[in-house]
Structure 1
Amino acid sequence: MTSLARLFAVLFSLISMTYTFYVVGKLMIFLSLPKTVPLASKWIFSLLDNKSRLETSYGPIALDTLLLIGFIFQHSLMKSEILKKIFKIFKLEVLERSIYCMTSSLCLHYLVNNWQSAQSVILWQFNVEESALLWWTVVVIHTYAWIVIYGGSIILDLPEILGIKQTYYNAKNLGTPISYKSNQLSALYSHVRHPSFISFFVIFWITNLMSLDRLILSVLLTAYMYLAWSPDKRDYEYQKAQLNAKTRELQCIRLKRF
């Protein structure tokens, strides 16, 4: 790569990383903020029988399902060997992760902005407007789940996951970041890139309002995670060891300060 090409790669990865953080923030609000059904919608739905309620949800559910399938297809395509070969042919391996994050963020952004609620059919609902305790319970559970996800990303190497590390190493002629990783971490990367299946499961399913559209989202994304992620016992033991090591490092830093 020429110096100009390396500079472009670094700038693209920075833009991709910034945009990814922005979209993840929108996703957090979309998935985790407690929801309520507007009074006008409640009044209209109360006039409909069960069959009519279900029929009014057909359009939103069809659109939401297409949005989810598009996101899942993009995720699967970006991990395919065919695309990896294309990146290699055009010598874009250093940008592979940044392009992955950028395209994933674009799909998620489009999904969040165009999502249609199907609140005519509700499986369960807890009115958070009447209970501050319930509102905060949902918020705290989701906040903790997101903290676990971000913590796991840091353990896995967040700059490398976002693609910025690859372009920086390339600019400094340091080789690829994966070449500096242990065999255990390389094996983990081949099985899973997003940490904490359980945290995502909690975010998808623990909600005060389980409408039909939320159910479709939870079912499809949980099924995709289960099928696409394949960590084994060695991956678990590695992550556990890394978590213990990070905890000891933080404790040492805290003791030095005091």
Structure 2
Amino acid sequence: MITKVFVLVITLSGLAFTFVTIVQLMLFLSSFSDKREVNNSSIYSDVAGDEASTAVLSSIVDISLLICFIIQHSFSSAPLSKLLVYSNIRYMQRILYNILTAAVLQILMIYWRPIPYYVLWSITLEQSPMFKLMFQLLHSLSWLSLYIMCISLDITELLGIKWVYYNLISGNEFSEPLTSQSQQSFSRYKSRYKSQQMLHLQNSMKHPGFLCLLVILWVYPVMRLDRLFIAVIWTVYMALAWHVDENDINYIIEQRSKKFAS
């Protein structure tokens, strides 16, 4: 009983922390106000002494934060799963993985250093209300489409709620969610409820909403150097993990047609 209460508390706290982090990430990537950038850059400028040294120092910090996120997001799942095996709570792997991801994103957003001195392009939104509305609509639609896609791919599985729920209700132990094909026990269990096409799509599409994230990262009124770091590094990272083929696309189109028909 104590273990179940502990698991429930960790799960609810993790979900709340993940939700708050997602909202803050939305504001971090889609806020068109530059007050934070101006204020922070003045602080860093006083410390560094000039624009060039400030830009170099800020670039090192920002790129290091992005690399730390990629390392955590790519390589922490397997060690975390092996660690939880000895604690007999492997079903919490996805919840704890999301907590770690949210924590790394929090660190990234807190210690991020804007670099306002070097700008690739700049559009003054205050003098162009139509442009501001266009950017807001594009980002809003992109975030909405991203969330709809996550829900369609089984949001309870992505968040890890399903496996905690199954364990608390039935007491059954499963392998970690979104497992690779090498872990046959979970794959056999999941295949009873999902088609092989769906399983292949989930394995091929590591980051749902790739195109939506591209719009969020690149369609931005002011492309400063620090923003360019995020856009380039995350785009390359997502592209390397994207293995969707023609069969996956046909499956998506087929399922979309069935849902509209029903």
The question of a shared fold, defined as TM-score above 0.5 by the shorter chain, is answered with yes
Distance 1:40 1:229 in 2: 36
**Cα offsets for 1:54-79 (capped at 9, x unmatched):** 44311111111111111101001124
Unmatched segments (≥5 aa) in structure 2? 43-49, 178-188
Is 1:7 paired with 2:30?
Answer: no
Distance 2:215 2:71 in 1: 23
Structure 1 residue aligned with 2:194: 181
Structure 1 residue aligned with 2:156: 159
Q: 1:71 to 1:40 in 2, by over 3 A?
A: closer
Alignment of 1:1-258 (within 5 A): 3-36=1-34, 53-80=51-78, 82-173=79-170, 175=172, 176=174, 179=190, 180-248=193-261
For 2:65, give the aligned amino acid.
Answer: L
Percent identical pairs in the alignment equals 31
TM value normalised by structure 1:
0.82
Distance 1:18 1:129 in 2: 35
**Cα offsets for 1:76-108 (capped at 9, x unmatched):** 11244x443333343332001101110000111
Q: 1:167 to 1:55 in 2, by over 3 A?
A: same
Q: Kindly report the root-mean-square deviation, in angstroms, between the aligned alpha carbons of the 2 structures.
A: 2.4
Distance 1:25 1:197 in 2: 18
Q: 1:39 to 1:11 in 2, by over 3 A?
A: closer
Which has the higher mean CA deviation after the structures are superposed, 123-132 or 179-188? 179-188
**Cα offsets for 1:119-143 (capped at 9, x unmatched):** 1000100001112111111111011
Distance 2:37 2:6 in 1: 51
**Cα offsets for 1:104-123 (capped at 9, x unmatched):** 00111111111110010001
Q: Which of 1 and 2 has higher RCO (CA within 8 Å, sep 6+)?
A: 1
SS in 2 for 1:123: strand
Unmatched segments (≥5 aa) in structure 1? 45-51, 250-258
Distance 1:161 1:38 in 2: 32
For 1:14, give the aligned amino acid.
Answer: L
* Aligned residue pairs, count: 237
Q: 1:209 to 1:166 in 2, by over 3 A?
A: same
SS in 1 for 2:126: helix
Distance 1:66 1:205 in 2: 21
User: CA shift at 1:245, angstroms?
Assistant: 4.0
Q: 1:66 to 1:96 in 2, by over 3 A?
A: same
TM value normalised by structure 2:
0.81
**Cα offsets for 1:213-246 (capped at 9, x unmatched):** 0001111111111112322233333333343444
